[in-house]
Structure 1
Amino acid sequence: MATAASRSGRRGGGGNDEDDRTAAMRRLRVLSLHLEDPSPSSEAGLAPAACAAGRRRATGGADAAAALAAYLRGRHRDTQARVFEFFLSRPDLQTPVEMTTAAHRELCFRQLCALVREAGVRPLSLMANDPAEYFAVMEAAGGADISLGVKLGVQYSLWGGSIINLGTKKHRDRFFDGIDNLDYPGCFAMTELHHGSNVQALQTTATFDPVTDEFIINTPNDGAIKWWIGNAALHGKFATVFARLILPLQGKGGDPADMGIHAFIVPIRDLDTNAVLPGIEINDCGHKIGLNGVDNGALRFRSVRIPRDNLLNRFGDVSRDGKYTSSLPTINKRFAATLGELVGGRVGIAYSSVGILKVSVTIAVRYALLRQQFGPPKKPEISVLDYQSHQHKLMPMLASSYAFHFATRYLVDKYSEMKKTNDEDVMADVHVLSSGLKAYITSYTAKSISVCRESCGGHGYAAVNRFGALRNDHDIFQTFEGDNTVLLQQVAGDLLKQYQEKFKGGTLSATWNYLRDSMGTYLSQPNPVTSRWEGEDHLRDPNFQLDAFRYRTSRLLHSVAARLQKHSKTLGGFGAWNRCLNHLLTLAESHIESVILAKFIEAVKRCPDEKTRELLKLVCDLYALDRIWKDIGTYRNVDYVAPNKAKAIHKLADYLSYQVRLVAQELVDAFDLPDLIIRAPIGMQSEAYAQYTQHVGF
């Protein structure tokens, strides 16, 4: 079904010549759709979704949800189902709504031990052999309790990942099995009190002693205390400590030589007694605003000696006589290689954040379908999701959940390819793509949880309905594994690098290759004819949508490059970057949105079932047009979109929100999230109010 605006657009690309009265009546007819029962779209072939009041009946709704769920379901869904079933069978391992920090930490560790030792999951083996299945397990564990998902990530992605990715065979032989079966719980000690994102400026030192063949780990000042270290406060027995490798008498004039940041295995507690080892001071970071099942601590090292073999030496080694060797020629290259191997943490966070968004949207949508409020005079009250304002809040968010699902699935596949091939181009793509998706998705999810809470009114404020815990537990996703603002700058920096190499005759890496086709376009003026096209067929054409996203990115890239060049002459490189920082962040976000849309469009095209493909196309169109409308000022400023076309985009985005509302039940059901994961009474599939009242004793 087309909007009146889009139907007029089919008559030509010119402006609207109807008089004001006719236009007003047309608008009223469109708005009236939100209070009536219109016929489903003949183009989309979609049936209305079932409402709690039973006023709308979906034809084949459950079948549609099942078909869509089958397409969304990855090859590792059975693994996730086993994790869900395990926790469902163990009420003693399910996290209650209220508990103390100490109790939550103890429960979280028991959950992890049970998952590994009773359910037989071997996360480190999965990460080494099938990263996609590992991330599926992490998402499922986080569904049971986000603290559990994070604690699992600390143990396996970070502590275990450092052994696999930064160590060599001797380290894997010694530590792999103990990490996998939880005999060796550990920490990842990178962040310091004064330095988090700027890893190259860490101050902890590891000085080689050639007499004893040992490294001496030392915290030179309070600013170098390792801070926010997961697993440190209670459970960690080892820590991978990032420190400056110092070689005495190897520098100029016999001064110590600083070889840059390296990683070292440092025992911090006795394996048998759990006593803190000599020279190590551990303090508890205390109660946090979320993730209180994770025991974060602070570590100080006072001349702690470790064997030379405890250097994770994949990218740099020290011989018995104190000579340093590396296959990489400079400190910067070694540092880049080291951090490049640690991208798995960001991949896992982006992937898990989408899971949290799905839970939040599911609760909000199901409640909006259930809750009735007001309505036409002398008629039954209507579902709050029938209100245009509520659709405007939730339906683009639901569409984004689908878009992010396919984007992070692609990211995991690229990461798996990287681990199998060690291809440098793929590694570069994954590094920047994981930075961008992690930053963009976690920021979006953090904002969306609050919108979901608000959309559920007073009931959203009840702790049992989970929004508070979801919001607080997820909030730190924007900070750890790289602050989002810093990560977006990495994306912008890489885009500028690719831009410069293109003009030097180089080739663009795979993730950015669309810029190759846009290089000429962004320098030219938009086509004055196409800028006025407002027909629905044109606006829902994926070629138009993707071209719009990519055009915006290309314009932003070209303009920020020119600004940087201008300001660097007077401010220098750092000053110019800072002057253009907001511009650079917008560029990075625009590029990531382009990648997300491209992966969504590809997923729609791949879908083998026609009805499911049409449903996904509807959701994809809403995602694309909603994002274009939200940044319509950019498109208007460069005349990419004429006023009449901007108006048509707005109207069509509103109408697509309405159409998505008609199938919202099927769309959230297709996420295939069991009640164990949803848990919120107002988000259950049936008898929500009955379950809710039971929680307060009726």
Structure 2
Amino acid sequence: MNPNQTVEDESHPYITSASRRIQLLSLHLTPLPPSQPSPQLNMLICAKAANKLEVDKVSLSTYMRGKNRDIQEKIIEFFESRPDLQTPVGVSMNEHRELCMRQLVALVREAKIKPFRYIVDDPAKYFAITEAIGSIDVSLGIKLGVQFSLWGGSVLNLGTEKHRDKYFDGIDNVDYPGCFAMTELHHGSNVQGLQTRATFDPVTDEFIIDTPNDGAIKWWIGNAAVHGKFATVFAKLILPTHDSKKVSDMGVHAFIVPIRDLNTLQTLPGIEIHDCGHKVGLNGVDNGALRFRSVRIPRDNLLNRFGDVSRDGKYTSSLPTINKRFAAMLGELVGGRVGLAYASVGFLKISVTIAVRYSLLRQQFGPPEQPEVSILDYQSQQHKLMPMLASLYAFHFATHYLVQKYSEMKKMHDEQLVADVHALSAGLKAYVTSYTAKSLSTCREACGGHGYAAVNRFGSLRNDHDIFQTFEGDNTVLMQQVAADLLKQYKDKFQGGSLSVTWNYLRESMNTYLSQLNPIIARWESADHLRDPKFQLDAFRYRTSRLLQSVAARLRKHSKTLGSFGAWNRCLNHLLLLAEAHTESVILAKFIEAVHNCPDASSRAALKLVCDLYALDHIWNDIGTYRNVDYVAPNKAKAIHKLTEYLCFQVRNIAGELVDGFDLPASVTRASIAMQSEAYA
């Protein structure tokens, strides 16, 4: 064997074990003249020249950006033209809050961008607007979301025509800035445990809003500390009975409560507002705490889509139980989770673009008397950033699918579709935001000391994004919801029920799992087989099915001695793994579908390469699971590892084109090390 054969050849899955050993031995025994480049450097030169894909960046960007590109560009151009509305580095909390309010008002009244119009009619356009706004200033993106998606969305989705007629225009033009007062000091994820009370007074035809104790104070309420004039307050609806000592608790409902005078902005009687102060991030959002002391509001301020109270105190609802009303209410508020998953991908695009561009530009070390090489030519840097870039592309398509399903849900109001979107949004929001939070730190590390400079944004991006793992549902709680839904589907399947659209892959996958594994397929190691989407998706779904069946058996076993709650807690880590595996299966399926649907051949080839890296990297990262049950034989596991490394290098070759596909202008990335400056080379 030629001692100068490249290491890339060695990693090809078709090279035999004996050939690899001979090659390694020859590299040790054959000295190289000092002036001759090393085989590793030959690898870089030859692979770049011979194996690099040609990518049409315009076609790739067009496919990625989609139909709402124009409105995003209009937003970015507006803020580029207004230096007075751009957020400076190191802005103080109070200045940042006022700047965010000015930015929001200017967007609506000067740029004539009206996000509220699209909340129901065109959610995809609404989320495209929020992505562009978040790239201008994350605090502005969250403030916009509080105003239109949370406060405004609660009026549209939980109210009726009378509420839309009264409040729509004021919310739309920001004359009525508002809050979404759900979370309490003692209760966040457990919404049914909220303690704030709304007691109906039939004498005055009013509800009396009360905070019964310190634990019931509404906490972390966006827009409350400074700018909010109204709040949608979630409280238990209490009706008096004929027995003066008893009341009827109808469960959690939503009420519109004015908190400041519309003209003077003075706090209204009975309302106490406290400032939550400086936070780890998002300091342009004025979070506050609200306490209510016998605050009276008209009966019409009950958002009564799912339950109403008549003048004589009679309660009526089209839904028969508290649990069904609660589920319907939360189902209508799922847009917040959809938006966070979508926005989190935007964070990752900016961060990965900065890190990849810097890694291509920055040179460090190299062979003796040879030019220094790009730090992205180092395998360690590739392993940090290339699987992340692949995951980013996967998340892009998965969250666009989520927005599509959410849009269908808003139009069709199908009960099963509502349940599907609820579970899908829970899984993607939790998975994507957790991954992004870790990746932001990795990108900072990958850029060395320059990544620590505030001007290069990793610190602010990381701090602003961190809370995404908590609000609109704590990620651990959301993943448990996904696991619970999978177990329900599993039970329904074996009781003769039908599977929902979102989980219907389980039928084929579970049947595969319950059948005998094929020992021949377990040993196939050709590149064509490993890069076959069917093998990749089957492997992901097999893992999900195996986890689902095993955790179901464990829950049955432990529930006999520990009860249902104790059994769930005993199996909690197993359940979280199940939810994660299922979410990864959905993400891969949507990525494979997006590759297949890409109309441009060069873009499709690039996406296929990235998709293969995403799939095989995940399989390799959990290779122990597949090895333990002989789904993958030892030789196949080794081939997966080597092919993953090869794909990682191939993606590195087009990394610049791939981040260019996001089409982020300099005014969005805003990092010195992403500006292709020779000063950082």
1:257 match: secondary structure: strand
227, 230, 243: which is aligned to 2:235?
A: 243
470, 475, 479: which is aligned to 2:470?
A: 479
Report matched runs for 1:18-167 at 5 Å: 20-22=21-23, 32=40, 36-39=44-47, 46-47=53-54, 64-167=56-159
Amino acid at match of 1:198: N
Q: In structure 2, what is the Cα distance between the partners aligned to 1:456 and 1:478?
A: 24
Amino acid at match of 1:421: M
Q: What's the CA shift for 1:637? A: 1.2
Amino acid at match of 1:32: Q
1:520 match: secondary structure: helix
285, 292, 295: which is aligned to 1:294?
A: 285
545, 558, 565: which is aligned to 1:567?
A: 558
155, 158, 161: which is aligned to 1:169?
A: 161
**Map of 2:350 onto structure 1:** 359
665, 677, 680: which is aligned to 1:687?
A: 677
341, 357, 363: which is aligned to 2:332?
A: 341
Amino acid at match of 2:478: L
Q: In structure 1, what is the Cα distance between the partners aligned to 2:516 and 2:448?
A: 47
Q: What's the CA shift for 1:524? A: 3.0
Q: In structure 2, what is the Cα distance between the partners aligned to 1:555 and 1:180?
A: 49
Report matched runs for 1:205-604 at 5 Å: 205-249=197-241, 255-604=246-595
Q: What's the CA shift for 1:342? A: 0.3
8 Å Cα contact 2:13-2:639 kept in structure 1: no
Amino acid at match of 1:8: Y
Structure 2, unmatched stretches of 5+, are 1-5, 30-36
Q: What's the CA shift for 1:38? A: 1.7
**Map of 1:696 onto structure 2:** none
8 Å Cα contact 2:116-2:148 kept in structure 1: yes
**Percent identity of paired positions between Structure 1 and Structure 2:** 73
Aligned length: 668
Q: What's the CA shift for 1:514? A: 0.5
After superposition, the C-alpha distances for 1:58-89 in whole angstroms (9 at most, x for unaligned) are xxx6xx22121011111101010000000000
Q: In structure 2, what is the Cα distance between the partners aligned to 1:285 and 1:7?
A: 57
Amino acid at match of 2:251: G
Q: In structure 2, what is the Cα distance between the partners aligned to 1:676 and 1:316?
A: 47
Structure 1, unmatched stretches of 5+, are 10-14, 48-60, 693-698
Amino acid at match of 2:538: D
* Pairwise CA RMSD: 2.0
622, 645, 650: which is aligned to 2:641?
A: 650
After superposition, the C-alpha distances for 1:88-142 in whole angstroms (9 at most, x for unaligned) are 0000001111111000001011110100111111111111211100000001000
Q: What's the CA shift for 1:30? A: 12
Compared with structure 1, are the counterparts of its residues 663 and 5 closer, same or farther at alpha carbon in structure 2 (3 Å cutoff)? closer
2:67 match: secondary structure: coil
Compared with structure 1, are the counterparts of its residues 337 and 33 closer, same or farther at alpha carbon in structure 2 (3 Å cutoff)? farther
Q: In structure 1, what is the Cα distance between the partners aligned to 2:441 and 2:505?
A: 35
Amino acid at match of 1:689: A
Q: What's the CA shift for 1:250? A: 6.1
Compared with structure 1, are the counterparts of its residues 30 and 152 closer, same or farther at alpha carbon in structure 2 (3 Å cutoff)? farther
After superposition, the C-alpha distances for 1:264-310 in whole angstroms (9 at most, x for unaligned) are 00000000000000000000000001000000000000000000000
Q: What's the CA shift for 1:521? A: 1.4
2:267 match: secondary structure: coil
8 Å Cα contact 1:4-1:30 kept in structure 2: no
Q: What's the CA shift for 1:20? A: 3.6
2:91 match: secondary structure: coil
1:512 match: secondary structure: coil
Q: What's the CA shift for 1:520? A: 1.6
Amino acid at match of 1:167: G
8 Å Cα contact 1:280-1:302 kept in structure 2: yes
Compared with structure 1, are the counterparts of its residues 316 and 340 closer, same or farther at alpha carbon in structure 2 (3 Å cutoff)? same
**Map of 1:52 onto structure 2:** none
Q: In structure 2, what is the Cα distance between the partners aligned to 1:462 and 1:231?
A: 30
Q: In structure 1, what is the Cα distance between the partners aligned to 2:678 and 2:619?
A: 36
8 Å Cα contact 1:350-1:441 kept in structure 2: yes
Q: In structure 1, what is the Cα distance between the partners aligned to 2:564 and 2:538?
A: 32
**Map of 2:186 onto structure 1:** 194
8 Å Cα contact 2:13-2:643 kept in structure 1: no
Q: In structure 1, what is the Cα distance between the partners aligned to 2:172 and 2:64?
A: 30
8 Å Cα contact 1:34-1:387 kept in structure 2: no
2:502 match: secondary structure: helix
Compared with structure 1, are the counterparts of its residues 489 and 7 closer, same or farther at alpha carbon in structure 2 (3 Å cutoff)? closer
Compared with structure 1, are the counterparts of its residues 245 and 34 closer, same or farther at alpha carbon in structure 2 (3 Å cutoff)? farther
Q: In structure 1, what is the Cα distance between the partners aligned to 2:9 and 2:607?
A: 20
Of 492-501 and 67-76, deviating more is: 67-76
8 Å Cα contact 2:529-2:535 kept in structure 1: yes
**Map of 2:14 onto structure 1:** 8
Compared with structure 1, are the counterparts of its residues 206 and 385 closer, same or farther at alpha carbon in structure 2 (3 Å cutoff)? same
Amino acid at match of 2:677: E
Q: TM-score, normalised by structure 1?
A: 0.93
8 Å Cα contact 1:101-1:287 kept in structure 2: yes
Amino acid at match of 2:53: L
Amino acid at match of 1:21: I
8 Å Cα contact 2:208-2:297 kept in structure 1: yes
Q: In structure 2, what is the Cα distance between the partners aligned to 1:163 and 1:449?
A: 35
Compared with structure 1, are the counterparts of its residues 196 and 231 closer, same or farther at alpha carbon in structure 2 (3 Å cutoff)? same
Q: In structure 2, what is the Cα distance between the partners aligned to 1:26 and 1:175?
A: 76
1:8 match: secondary structure: coil
Q: In structure 1, what is the Cα distance between the partners aligned to 2:253 and 2:372?
A: 65
Amino acid at match of 2:187: H
1:309 match: secondary structure: helix
Q: In structure 2, what is the Cα distance between the partners aligned to 1:524 and 1:378?
A: 60
Amino acid at match of 1:165: N
Q: In structure 2, what is the Cα distance between the partners aligned to 1:260 and 1:41?
A: 67
Q: In structure 2, what is the Cα distance between the partners aligned to 1:688 and 1:337?
A: 56
**Map of 1:58 onto structure 2:** none
Amino acid at match of 2:217: I
2:46 match: secondary structure: coil
Compared with structure 1, are the counterparts of its residues 441 and 250 closer, same or farther at alpha carbon in structure 2 (3 Å cutoff)? farther
Q: TM-score, normalised by structure 2?
A: 0.95
Of 25-34 and 417-426, deviating more is: 25-34
8 Å Cα contact 1:564-1:580 kept in structure 2: yes
